Amino acid sequence: MKVVNQVLPALLLICASSIISPAPAQVPTTVAAPSQLQLMPIPASVQLQSGRLPITDAFSIVTRGYADDRLRGSIARMTRRLAGRTVITLPFDLAADESSATLVVQCERGGSSVPSLNEDESYSLEVTDKQARLVAPTIVGAMRGLETFLQLVQGDRNGYYLPAVRIQDQPRFAWRGLLIDTGRHYQPPEVLKRNLDAMAAVKLNVFHWHLTEDQGFRVESKKFPKLHLMGSDGLYYTQDQVREIIAYAADRGIRVLPEFDIPGHSTSWLVGYPELGSAPGPFKIERGAGIFEPALDPTRDQTYKFLDAFLGEMAALFPDAYMHIGGDENEGKQWDRNPRIQAFMKEKGIKDNHALQAYFNQQVLKILQKHGKKMIGWEEILHPDLPKDAVIHSWRGPASLAEAAKKGYNGILSAGYYIDLMFPASQHYLADPLPANSALTAEEAKHVMGGEATMWGEWVSPETIDSRIWPRTAAIAERLWSPRTVVDVEDMYRRLTVISRQLEELGLTHERNYPVMLRRLANSENTEPLRTLVSVAEPVKEYHRYQMRPQTMLSPLTGLVDAARPDSDEARRFAAMVEGFLSDAPRYRLNRSDLRESFTSWRDAGTALGPMIDRAPALQEARPLATNLSDVAIAGLEAIEYLSTGNAASSEWRVAQLAKLDEAAKPKAALELVIIPSVRKLVIAAAEPPRSQ
């Protein structure tokens, strides 16, 4: 689902207003993890005890109760990461002696052989100074507990250890997903695998695989080979690769939900099979971004025979109980211009395109039911005639999701979790499928199954996709797992920094590729001035990149906007320093030297970038940003000086500096300097009458 013309503020208010009521808590909750712990997601209940359990080369693990290859594989992966983190040689074979084992893992049963929505993911973990014991009803529950065990590991001068703790944990929502759009930009299997590893590390359990788009058809069909041979530029997943990804995900307790977007977003279908279209064609793969007209013809029996055969083939390939049909952003323009479709609508008493799509959805639902699948689609599929079997995937917000729940539909939320829109983790963190100020009954609230982060693929490559997903998605994972009362943004960022570093153990490139891209852009090993600039810049939000940087799906995604990250740590640190400085009126000593150091660094970087840009044509678009950075820094230094000396700046100075900040705030090269709101506060304060001691 890509809402190109979406008004984003409506998405972002979902944490402030809704009509939904909370589901009753099932276990004790905590507002935040103890400050000495780095857990993410925060468990349902955490109680610190006295003592610590050392991690040494005598480390061993014993299993009790049910154990299978999935559990043994999960234990081996956890042990490998623990060894890498501690630099201790650890045994990878399970031990037999429970009394001397460091960790005892006890499972009651295997759970579903194929991960399912009803999987019991609960576990308990108790750590004493003698031993850790993890108890779970299922293998997947044990997997979740093993991730928590690994996150508990700490180190000091005496070595590595786990603090003594008692944890009772279970997820708040059963559906906690990440959508990766591989239709617009193909992502190789190794990219998907490392992201599946990261999903497991933060307890996400649904990989929503968006496989078809106007720009590409990414899965092999043996029944209709022209789908992938003509609609993919040769970039598609073979069925063997699909099975490999499904098995890889299952070993980590993750469901794989395929999406085949119909009737719109279907150009790539029609390249090889134009007879399915609502216009005569011919069709070619779309190279741009946006909403396009081609749509399947919902009035032909041939269309449904084709879908029956194709979806049947895919149903046999993908074992999950659900199949996503998309159903979004079909504007029906081709339907309007097709006399035969108009005549069909008149004959059937179908009053508009929404009703025609509802007719289409009903036929597709029957096909999916025939093949043993449940249908899920974006909100556009909701219609009075839609059977209650269908699941609503909401991009509009929790109020809309609540309305569907009141009508008896199960649903999941993605509004507020569109990570491609480049908003900070804090904004996603406060979006909740079931906000506190609500009106749904407990029974109605059960229809809200959870949510998904959405990584739409217009502007991501294998080199950059990790930096757009992580670490922000870990904050979303916490929102979907942890109690609603866990809302401390500052503490979230404290833990997110640690989790981001730990995710690198899994091969993620969200940090690794950053300096690589900067060196390439600068054509030099010396990237310090460029790094300083990019540290306080973020890609433009929402869909402004479309307008500011016209590109196609064939364009290289290697520019400065691609290197920049969506959640500036430096800007957040700077904003906190400014707040502290201004709170120290009238002395203005708190953080003064640190602020001066930052401003001086930015001023000097802006100057140094001139010669660097001269030598690097790829950086030409950054020249205005470099000038703006220097202007902002000089304004900040002057404001600090006025405030520190107790002399108010003139109104002329204030007007001139605010004008400079207004100019610097305008995005350039599809980037925006995110330090400007804080500098503006300093400039305004500097022109106010001095406060008395």
CB 325 within 8 A of CB 366: no
Count CB neighbours of 120 within 10 A: 17
Query: Coil, strand or helix: which one is 214?
Result: coil
Question: Token pair of 104, please?
Answer: 């005892």
Tell me whether residue 472 is exposed, middle or buried, using C-beta atoms within 10 angstroms of its C-beta: 0 to 12, 13 to 18, 19 or more: buried
Strand partners, 133: 104, 126
147, HSE (Cβ side, Cα atoms, 13 Å): 29
Query: Coil, strand or helix: which one is 62?
Result: strand
**Residue (of 119, 134, 15, 3) closest to 397 by Cα position:** 15
What are the C-alpha distances in Å from 37 to residues 6, 105, 498? 39, 22, 10
**Residue (of 224, 212, 384, 355) closest to 285 by Cα position:** 212
Query: Coil, strand or helix: which one is 183?
Result: coil
**Residue (of 452, 473, 72, 448) closest to 256 by Cα position:** 452
CA 203 to chain centre: 13
489, HSE (Cβ side, Cα atoms, 13 Å): 9
Phi/psi region, residue 159 (left: phi>0; alpha: psi -120 to 50; beta: rest), is left
What are the C-alpha distances in Å from 643 to residues 2, 236, 284, 601, 648? 47, 60, 62, 20, 7
CB 459 within 8 A of CB 420: yes
Whole-angstrom distance, CA of residue 579 vs CA of residue 682: 9
Active site residues: 329
Whole-angstrom distance, CA of residue 434 vs CA of residue 432: 5
Tell me whether residue 154 is exposed, middle or buried, using C-beta atoms within 10 angstroms of its C-beta: 0 to 12, 13 to 18, 19 or more: middle
Query: Coil, strand or helix: which one is 305?
Result: helix
Whole-angstrom distance, CA of residue 653 vs CA of residue 635: 9
CA 265 to chain centre: 22
What are the C-alpha distances in Å from 584 to residues 294, 587, 596? 61, 6, 16
DSSP-assigned states of every residue in 81-95? HHHHHHT-----SPP
Count CB neighbours of 69 within 10 A: 9
Cβ-proximal residues to 57 (8 Å cutoff; 6+ apart), any chain: 88, 89, 90
CB 242 within 8 A of CB 303: no
Whole-angstrom distance, CA of residue 119 vs CA of residue 109: 12
Whole-angstrom distance, CA of residue 261 vs CA of residue 263: 7
